[in-house]
Amino acid sequence: MGQTIVMKFGGTSVADAERIANVARRVQREVKAGNRVAVVVSAMAGVTNQLVAQVDSIDRMPDQAEYDVVVASGEQVTVGLTAIALHKLGLKARSWLGWQIPIRTDSAHAAARIDAIDGDQLSRRMAKGEVQVVAGFQGVTAEGRVATLGRGGSDTSAVALAAALKADRCDIYTDVDGVYTCDPRIVGKAQKLAKVTFEEMLEMASSGAKVLHPRSVEIAMNHRVRLQVLSSFEDKPGTLVVDEDEIVEQAVVSGIAFTRNEAKVTLQRVADRPGVAAAVFGPLADAGINVDMIVQSASLDGKSTDITFTIGRAELPRALEVLKAIKRKVKFDRAATDAEISKVSVIGTGMRSHAGVARRMFETLAKNGINIQAISTSEIKISVLIEEKFTELALRALHTAYGLDSA
Amino acid sequence: MGQTIVMKFGGTSVADAERIANVARRVQREVKAGNRVAVVVSAMAGVTNQLVAQVDSIDRMPDQAEYDVVVASGEQVTVGLTAIALHKLGLKARSWLGWQIPIRTDSAHAAARIDAIDGDQLSRRMAKGEVQVVAGFQGVTAEGRVATLGRGGSDTSAVALAAALKADRCDIYTDVDGVYTCDPRIVGKAQKLAKVTFEEMLEMASSGAKVLHPRSVEIAMNHRVRLQVLSSFEDKPGTLVVDEDEIVEQAVVSGIAFTRNEAKVTLQRVADRPGVAAAVFGPLADAGINVDMIVQSASLDGKSTDITFTIGRAELPRALEVLKAIKRKVKFDRAATDAEISKVSVIGTGMRSHAGVARRMFETLAKNGINIQAISTSEIKISVLIEEKFTELALRALHTAYGLDSA
């Protein structure tokens, strides 16, 4: 009978004619194995950045709907080229843009969310052996406008399509060969995980691991889409992202993630009275600025306190504008900022049933002379904020401390 | 009240951010004058060639529907950027792709013809002062596939849109400032024509003058769309393409055009019997090869003759394949080819009422020692085939002979 498979190829996997031919051969192998295949492709590596630069050169604050028209063109090129490469191998293939399927999104241009995908026509064609080549990253709004999902959106397209097609598997082909316990470029002893749970993958993706987009993991988790991350250049097994009950022996900590993309803001000597937090974080939320960690120190004099929080580094200028606007109302001495920080997170579903995970983290960092500036935790994750220059040291020390080093 | 105007900008006019800003300023001027404006744009200069090269690098004989998906992306980029540039000037503007309007075409991918344009929504929006930015060169088939009109198709898009919108004028902005009596790069004394008739423009465009695409002139003629060709870089009047009755004093010859894109084929010693021409030109037509001139010499021995014809130079290899396939049936000694030819045409509506136009052409060429290899005529055009190396000499001599030289 064969399986229904969605294969997603990112920008580096379709970067030139030769690589697109390679993609076509991988697809051919699945078709020959009797599977029904839909392929989701990104824009060729570098193309989206070029398109964004073209928009920037005209207006740095463009109409988002028109921005989407421009940047969505990158995937349009790739679907056509991929379909042509598939034809060349003698396969039946057809390309699809967001509006043709359609992939319905909301109207939040440049960061749209998929509302619905009509998979019927694609399913019928796949059943006849035709490969469906779908443009990632894009959809169409109820108003008939082109919308894009924001960076990394092609992963989301692939998983949502897999859900719509009730696919047996969604294979994310990329330039790494799977999900590692930590970034192998920094921690040489990092190991590839054979399996990881949706929850862990979601925390990893949200904590800086770039292998999958968080939104795509969220959809996969909600629709129980079996995800696989694997290399488009090498022939070896990747990492399966699966339900927790598929993993018999769960490690306490399965991975260590990090991000250098945050900035820390400290409001010094804020009046210590009810409603202050709301007065600060309400306007930031209204401005669309995502606040990650928040630490409020105990009041020393009973009158004022310090509030520290982190935001995306790119949003720092906008955040400072917001703070300037509310300063008269909220009352604080000054907003001190620090962009030279990084966030390190240890992640593992096994944490739920094991005590002492946090303590080991704090002890390991202390032993290495690394000061913790802020802490935030979830059920399966502990994140700390540290000085950026200690990032590599912290990652390697924690990797060893949690027994993740390869032999 | 103002007028309804379609403004079309070609690839060199939208080649970079600065030129797109210049386009926006020209549009702004028309809006400020109280006009309702639709803008049609091509892909940025060089982009379509790059896209075609990308397709070529994968397959030189691609599926034409998928080829269209790739190449139509160029105009998608330009409409978005142009709309953003208009917004920056404070104008209301919205971009439109072929499928959004829709611009309906037939299914002849890569060379599609426009069947219908629904201009209602655009008209309503234009009436409210919103500039409509429309992607040239593209449309959508009844099957919902992207189709392109073939090279030069953006002119056609603009004129067809002007017809659908019942526009008062269709202004074709380009890198030349109008229609000349001959190519000014070759004939220094060439003059810009203030007005030219549809028929003349059509013959000129079909005979090698690249300023407008023949199909666009045909549509303008059929729908009586007032066309204007003018420079997007300079502020001066261009050339109006109008009905014959708008031109009071009609020159006998209004322009001299030429093309170096043809090749000559001579079938030597073809059996001189009925049905031979059909046996040769039928299969060529079936292969989609357009034959321009045909000359059959008188039979010398009553048994065989030579047939000479011209085709597009790019189609020569395919034509020779067709001839090889029919050689056994048609019987001829050999097919001699000559790609070093050019076609020179004198054009003028006044020819209808003036005798001696052809004789002056032949005498002028003879006086300059230029041999005529073939002749074809229409009501308002005489074309001759000559050795390519004589092209410049022929053009200058004829330009003088017909009294077209500027003072």
- Note whether B18 and B161 are same-domain residues: yes
Q: In the structure, what pLDDT confidence band is assigned to residue A247 with cuts at 50, 70 and 90?
A: confident
H/E element holding A248? none
- Note whether A153 and A42 are same-domain residues: yes
- Note whether B14 and B104 are same-domain residues: yes
- Number of domains observed in the structure of chain B: 2
Neighbouring residues of A245: CB distance < 8 A, sequence distance ≥ 6: none
- Note whether B14 and B139 are same-domain residues: yes
CB of B118 within 8 Å of a chain A CB? The answer is no
Is residue A303 included in any domain, yes or no? yes
- Nearest residue of A to residue B69, measured between CA atoms: A80
CB of B17 within 8 Å of a chain A CB? The answer is yes
- pLDDT for A407 equals 73
Domain boundary among A175, A196, A219: A175
Query: Which residues of chain B have a CB within 8 Å of the CB of A94?
Result: 66
Is residue A163 included in any domain, yes or no? yes
Between chains, do B63 and A54 touch, taking CB under 8 Å as contact?
no
Mean pLDDT of chain A: 93
CB of A146 within 8 Å of a chain B CB? The answer is yes
B303-340 burial, b if ≥16 CB within 10 A, otherwise e?
ebbbbbbbbbbebbeebeebbeeeeeebebeebebbee
- pLDDT for B250 equals 73
Query: Which residues of chain B have a CB within 8 Å of the CB of A77?
Result: 51, 54, 70, 73
CATH number at residue B307: 3.30.2130.10
| A208, pLDDT greater than 80 | no
- Nearest residue of B to residue A17, measured between CA atoms: B58
Q: In the structure, what pLDDT confidence band is assigned to residue B310 with cuts at 50, 70 and 90?
A: very high
| A61, pLDDT greater than 90 | yes
| A114, pLDDT greater than 80 | yes
| B103, pLDDT greater than 90 | yes
Interval B178-196 mean pLDDT: 93
Q: Is the peptide bond before B102 cis (omega within 30 degrees of 0)?
A: yes
| B245, pLDDT greater than 90 | no
- Nearest residue of A to residue B91, measured between CA atoms: A63
Lowest mean pLDDT segment, chosen from A124-138, A242-256, B129-143: A242-256
| B407, pLDDT greater than 80 | no
**Could you say which of B74, B83, B99 has the minimum Cβ distance to residue A99?**
B99
- Note whether B131 and B14 are same-domain residues: yes
ipTM: 0.84
- Distance CA(B170)–CA(B224), nearest Å, equals 11
**Could you say which of A51, A80, A87 has the minimum Cβ distance to residue B77?**
A51
Domain boundary among A175, A208, A239: A175
Between chains, do B55 and A99 touch, taking CB under 8 Å as contact?
no
The pTM of the full predicted model, rounded to 2 decimals, is 0.86
Q: In the structure, what pLDDT confidence band is assigned to residue A331 with cuts at 50, 70 and 90?
A: confident
- pLDDT for A376 equals 87
- pLDDT for B143 equals 96
CB of B334 within 8 Å of a chain A CB? The answer is no
CATH number at residue A108: 3.40.1160.10
Domain boundary among B175, B198, B217: B175
- pLDDT for A154 equals 95
Give tens-digit pLDDT for B260-297: 888 999 999 988 888 888 899 999 999 889 898 888 87
CB of B146 within 8 Å of a chain A CB? The answer is yes
CATH number at residue A332: 3.30.70.260
Name the percent of chain B lying above pLDDT 70. 100
Between chains, do B80 and A58 touch, taking CB under 8 Å as contact?
no
| B305, pLDDT greater than 90 | no
**Residue B206: which of B195, B221, B192, B194 has the closest Cα?**
B221
**Could you say which of A55, A72, A80 has the minimum Cβ distance to residue B67?**
A80
- Note whether B296 and B168 are same-domain residues: no
| A374, pLDDT greater than 90 | no
CB of B57 within 8 Å of a chain A CB? The answer is yes
- Nearest residue of A to residue B143, measured between CA atoms: A100
| B316, pLDDT greater than 80 | yes
| B298, pLDDT greater than 80 | no
Name the percent of chain A lying above pLDDT 70. 100
Mean pLDDT of chain B: 93
Token couple for A189: 């002893």
Between chains, do B73 and A77 touch, taking CB under 8 Å as contact?
yes
**Residue A71: which of A131, A11, A142, A132 has the closest Cα?**
A11
Is residue B199 included in any domain, yes or no? no
| B338, pLDDT greater than 80 | yes
| A402, pLDDT greater than 90 | yes
- Note whether A278 and A167 are same-domain residues: no
- Note whether A269 and A169 are same-domain residues: no
Is residue A376 included in any domain, yes or no? no
Residue corresponding to tokens 């060169």: B137
Instruction: State the CB neighbour count (10 A cutoff) for residue A296.
Output: 15
- Note whether A22 and A134 are same-domain residues: yes
Between chains, do A77 and B77 touch, taking CB under 8 Å as contact?
no
Is residue B206 included in any domain, yes or no? no
- Distance CA(A255)–CA(A203), nearest Å, equals 10
Name the percent of chain B lying above pLDDT 90. 76
Is residue A398 included in any domain, yes or no? no
| B405, pLDDT greater than 80 | yes
CB of B300 within 8 Å of a chain A CB? The answer is no
Alpha carbon of B60: minimum distance to chain A alpha carbons (Å): 10
**Could you say which of A80, A100, A146 has the minimum Cβ distance to residue B70?**
A80
Is residue B212 included in any domain, yes or no? no
**Could you say which of B58, B62, B146 has the minimum Cβ distance to residue A20?**
B58
Between chains, do A55 and B97 touch, taking CB under 8 Å as contact?
no
- pLDDT for A295 equals 84
- pLDDT for A31 equals 97
How buried is B102 (Cβ within 10 angstroms: 0-12 exposed, 13-18 middle, 19+ buried)?
Answer: middle
Query: Which residues of chain B have a CB within 8 Å of the CB of A58?
Result: 17, 20-21, 81, 84-85, 88
Q: Give SS3 for A232.
A: coil
What is the residue range of B75's domain?
A: 4-175
- pLDDT for A343 equals 94
CB B45 within 8 A of CB B15: yes
- pLDDT for A248 equals 72
Give tens-digit pLDDT for A262-294: 899 999 998 888 888 889 999 999 988 889 888
Q: In the structure, what pLDDT confidence band is assigned to residue A111 with cuts at 50, 70 and 90?
A: very high
Alpha-helix residue ranges (DSSP H) falling in B89-234: 120-127, 153-164, 198-206, 214-223
Largest CA distance in chain A: 78
CB of B353 within 8 Å of a chain A CB? The answer is no
- Note whether A282 and A162 are same-domain residues: no
- Note whether A145 and A276 are same-domain residues: no
- pLDDT for B164 equals 97
**Could you say which of B54, B63, B88 has the minimum Cβ distance to residue A87?**
B63
CB of A79 within 8 Å of a chain B CB? The answer is yes
- pLDDT for A179 equals 94
Alpha carbon of B151: minimum distance to chain A alpha carbons (Å): 18
Between chains, do B80 and A21 touch, taking CB under 8 Å as contact?
no
Q: Which residue has the higher pLDDT, A37 or A314?
A: A37
- Note whether B16 and B104 are same-domain residues: yes
Is residue B213 included in any domain, yes or no? no
Neighbouring residues of B124: CB distance < 8 A, sequence distance ≥ 6: none
